[in-house]
Structure 1
Amino acid sequence: MCGCQQQDNASSSATVPAKTSITALIWAPDWPEEMLQIAAEFSKRNPDIRVNVQFMIGNSVEENIKPRIASGNLPDLVSVNPNAYAAELADQGILADVGATSAWNNMLAPLKADWTSRQSRRFGISGGVATTLIYYNKDMFAKAGIKELPANFHEFLMVCEQLKLAAFTPIMWNGGFPNMLGNGPFSFGFANNVVAREPAWKQKIGDGTLDLNTPQVADIFVRILLMAQRGFVQEAFMATDYDEGIRLFKEGKVAMAFHGSWAAGLLLHGNPFEVGVFIPPWNAPGKRVVPVIGSETGFAVGETPNKAAAMRFLEFITGEGFSIIQRKRQNIPQFKQVAGTLVSDQKIVDYTNLVSRYPVTASPYYSVLPSNSIERLHRLMQDVLIRKITPRQAARLLDESVKNEAKMHYK
């Protein structure tokens, strides 16, 4: 999935009125400065178009988009996830088809299915190849006497115990930013407890026949809680947001971070210690791990009067402006060819190549669950962590949410 060469991306030939102002609503928790730089550079080269960049807040892309849709205030360019909600917006004519762009033609073929709706509308461009993994502090592991990386969840708990006995906090938990709990332990729990057992899981989520009220799904929440119960996470973990979690790892206050490939540039560099990576061993002993890999949150264009200008901006983000993002993030590009010098950390390249060859893989949770169930899951994980509900109750409530969404929207 990761072959990359240099290319001059073709510009959109669409014309726009003079002095057009477009709105871009962007999900960029770890690269806001780069997005502003891209917008400024685009406007410098395209003086007829001004870009008003607005940043999403909260825990999900969807909770930012829904109020805009409801109020008829659709942005001209917007961050979206490759899921049923965004696909439905495309089929309703709210998001434009980007299939004629050079960005779509250049996107890696395995990602295109994620961005194609039921009615074959191509509704977005991926922001990268997304995978979640565990970053670890090699110095702490060595001082704790850990000589081998864990190969299953039982061994992972033993490693955490060994780190704790050596007076290290084993892992960072984003209790205040449940998006990362979803991307990390929930996605890997779903991969190894559900996807590994049910090959037709994606279809069954869509038609509402996948049973999530099971001990296996409850176990996903059990493991999220277990890390806190055993004292393997930092103090005040329920207040830890996205930026604070990264800072804790970089300052050597936790030994591991369960994070995404999109944060490789931040987590792997500028540290006073060497960082390694490994596949989160959320598998049972004797079972092969099911890794998580798919499309990262990407970009879509709204069906607005400024669509032509927004298409030009999309082409710039994914073309000449792409290197600005990539220098900061150093994740895996979503394109067959890229303009400028490619900057990707070799550890992430090797990791992504490795997990992409696994016979069974799962998708990130934001492309698996219906949009309302994503928001429901965030609350359920937090409620389990504060012991307001049990893992078994969380599984039942998630099952009800997913089935209700299928009944309401996707049948």
Structure 2
Amino acid sequence: MYGCHRKGSPSSSATVPTRTTITALIWAPDWPEEMLQIAAEFSKLNPDIGVNVQFMVGNSVEENIKPRIASGNLPDVVSVNPNAYAAALADQGVLAAVSHTTAWSNMLDPLKGDWTSRQGKAFGISGGVATVLMYYNKDMFAKAGVKTLPTSFPEFLAVCEQLRRAGFTPIMWNGGFPNMLGNGPFSFGFANNVVAREPDWKKKMEDGTLDLDTPQAADIFAKLSLIARRGYVQDGFMATDYDGGIRLFKEGKVAMAFHGSWAAGLLLHGNPFEAGVFIPPWNAPGKRVVPVIGSETGFAVCETPNKAAALRFVEFMTGKGFAIVQRKRQNISPFRPGAQAIAGDPQIVAYTNEVSRYPVTASPYYSELPSNSIERLHRLMQDVLLNRITPRQAATLLDASVKHEAKMHYK
């Protein structure tokens, strides 16, 4: 019967190998074009693997992941945050181990703890070293007569007033994209009002004994509201999304932007003015500020039939592909010098080196709070800004959310 087999039959062993298509669900609010370019370059070098890029939407990574897990529709590669939620997914067998990859070996050692689960599983690769800082328009500061950068919150308010009297809008608030309110004023408020006062805050949050129904926690929301009530933010700030906020700063319509190091390429370059950076002074007078620094949103591989191909793609993203996105973002590389490390903007490098030496630092809010509390926080901040609830009520509700998550985790 073999002799009767026709040459050229569709069942012939000479057919073209099957091409694997992997799905990548990615959080890239300010670099979608670069992500598509990375996928195209990878497929060009790996013709046996295609990449279907899907972009996350909304206000958090977690709200994109949860429906996919609930429906069993797992992507092969997924953006994740270095928090308890992602670590739990790893321990539950949803996320694959990446400890054997070159990317993991090259990642800076201080970051590896962020990406290690309770059971010791390495579950992700950092997308960068994340710092949160204040970008400012040096021309506006000079025209307003601001000669000294503020070093405490009262001094910051005084600078805002000085800018407003000079005819400038002091600062941009992303009311329509509460993710940035979380990274900015909430993270720094939590750092200086909670982390600075409670060394064991992380353990207490996990076991449900951290008290956030306090005047100090309420003050986090009060500062957020105060800046808006005093007219220091742009008109229509509750509708300002991520891209819109960056445009306001770049077009010289606001003097300051409370933003992350991941946006350095956009906020520091291509402006008709010189921009600088300083540590957001969310501290009380006489108290040393607690800066925010940690791992940026990174990448993980899900336990799917395409895991091997997905791991190859993550290796490319964090290797040759990293240069593509870094040229735009100018952030701090999470990799050791000599590996995929590519220098970021000099101001961001200097800022990161400075704050990394502080005796007490905090992480961005997305790696501190339980995932459900992150989504709750977004609504609470918006409700405070819309005067629907008071700062104290917001603190009470956040406290209840965090304690409920701890109870559910340990039940």
TM-score, reference length from structure 2 = 0.95
- Post-superposition Cα deviations, 1:46-78, rounded to whole Å, max 9, x if no partner, equal 000000000000000000000000000010000
**2:77 aligns to what?**
77
Distance 2:342 2:194 in 1: 36
For 1:18 and 1:324, locate their aligned partners in 2 and report how far apart those are by CA, in whole Å: 29
- Aligned residue for 2:273? 273
Q: In structure 2, list runs of 5 or more residues that go unmatched.
A: 1-16
- Give the CA deviation at 1:337: 3.3
Q: Measured at CA, do residues 338 and 38 of structure 1 come closer, stay the same or move farther in structure 2, by a change above 3 Å?
A: farther
* 1:246-268 Cα shifts (integer Å, max 9, x gaps): 00000000000000000000000
- Give the aligned partner of residue 19 of structure 1: 19
1:343-378 CA-to-partner distances (Å, cap 9, x unmatched) read 410000000000000000001000000000000000
Q: Deviations over 1:110-144 (max 9, x none)?
A: 00000000000101000100010000000000000
Counterpart-to-counterpart distance in 2, 1:263 and 1:355: 18
Q: Name the CA distance, whole Å, in 1 between partners of 2:190 and 2:258.
A: 15
Equivalent position SS for 2:167: coil
- 1:102-121 residue pairs with structure 2 within 5 A? 102-121=102-121
SS of structure 1 residue aligned to 2:54? strand
Shift in CA distance, 119/341, structure 1 to aligned 2, threshold 3 Å: closer
Q: Counterpart of 1:316?
A: 316
8 Å contact kept, 1:323–1:339: no
Q: How does 1:2-401 map to 2 (within 5 A)?
A: 18-337=18-337, 342-401=342-401
SS at match of 2:164: helix
Matches of 2:294 and 2:249, distance apart in 1:
25
**Within 2, Cα distance between the matches of 1:147 and 1:101?**
49
In 2: Cα distance, 1:392 partner to 1:114 partner: 31
Could you list the per-position Cα deviations for residues 167-207 of structure 1 after superposition, in whole angstroms to 9, with x for gaps in the alignment?
Answer: 00000000000000000000000000000000001111111
Residues 133 and 278 of structure 2 are in contact (CA less than 8 Å); yes or no, is this contact kept in structure 1? yes
CA contact (8 A) 2:76 2:304 kept: yes
Looking at structure 2, the residues matched to 302 and 85 of structure 1 have their Cα atoms a distance apart, in angstroms, of: 14
Instruction: For 1:302 and 1:324, locate their aligned partners in 2 and report how far apart those are by CA, in whole Å.
Output: 24
Gaps of 5+ in 1: 1-16
User: In 2, distance between residues paired with 1:383 and 1:62?
Assistant: 21
> Contact (CA 8 Å) 1:327, 1:343: kept in 2 or not?
no
Does the CA-based 8 Å contact 1:18-1:49 persist in structure 2? Answer: no
8 Å CA contact 1:322–1:339 kept in 2: the answer is no
Q: For 1:252-310, what per-residue CA distance to the aligned partner results, in whole angstroms no more than 9, with x for missing partners? A: 00000000000000000000000010000000000000000000000000000000000
Following TM superposition, by how much is the alpha carbon of 1:341 offset from its aligned partner in structure 2, in angstroms?
A: 8.1
1:8 aligns with none
Flag the 1:170–1:366 CA change in 2: closer, same or farther, 3 A. Answer: same
Q: Is the 8 A contact 2:318 2:340 kept in 1?
A: no
Q: CA deviation at 1:409?
A: 1.5
Could you say what the CA RMSD is over the residues aligned between the two structures, in angstroms? 1.0
Decide which moves more: 330-339 or 221-230. Answer: 330-339
**How has the CA–CA distance of structure 1 residues 340 and 214 changed in structure 2, closer, same or farther, with 3 Å as cutoff?**
closer
CA distance in 1, matches of 2:75, 2:340: 29
- Asked whether the equivalents of residues 330 and 345 of structure 1 are also in contact (C-alpha less than 8 Å), the reply is yes
Q: 2-side partners of 1:84 and 1:338: how far apart?
A: 31
Distance 1:339 1:33 in 2: 24
For 1:204 and 1:129, locate their aligned partners in 2 and report how far apart those are by CA, in whole Å: 26
Supply the distance in 2 between the matched residues of 1:409 and 1:36 (Cα, whole angstroms): 37
User: Greater RCO between the two (CA within 8 Å, min separation 6)?
Assistant: 1
**8 Å Cα contact 2:332/2:343 also seen in 1:** no
Question: How many Å apart are 1:402 and its aligned residue?
Answer: 0.3
Query: Once the two structures are aligned, what percentage of the paired residues are identical?
Result: 81
Asked if the contact 1:84/1:370 (under 8 Å) is kept, the reply is yes
Structure 2: distance between partners of 1:237 and 1:124 = 35
Structure 2 distance, partners of 1:207, 1:22, is: 38
Checking the alignment, whether the CA contact within 8 Å between 2:174 and 2:242 is kept in structure 1 is yes
8 Å Cα contact 1:170/1:256 also seen in 2: yes
What is the identity, as a one-letter code, of the residue corresponding to 1:288?
R
Residues 334 and 341 in structure 2, CA contact (< 8 A), matched pair in contact too = no
Corresponding residue for residue 14 of structure 1: none
Separation (CA, whole Å) in 2 of partners of 1:343 and 1:92: 36
Which residue of structure 1 aligns with residue 5 of structure 2? none
State how far apart, in whole Å, the 1-side matches of 2:221 and 2:355 are: 24
* Total equivalences in the alignment: 395
Q: In the superposition, relative to structure 1, how do residues 132 and 138 fare at CA in structure 2: closer, same or farther (>3 Å)?
A: same
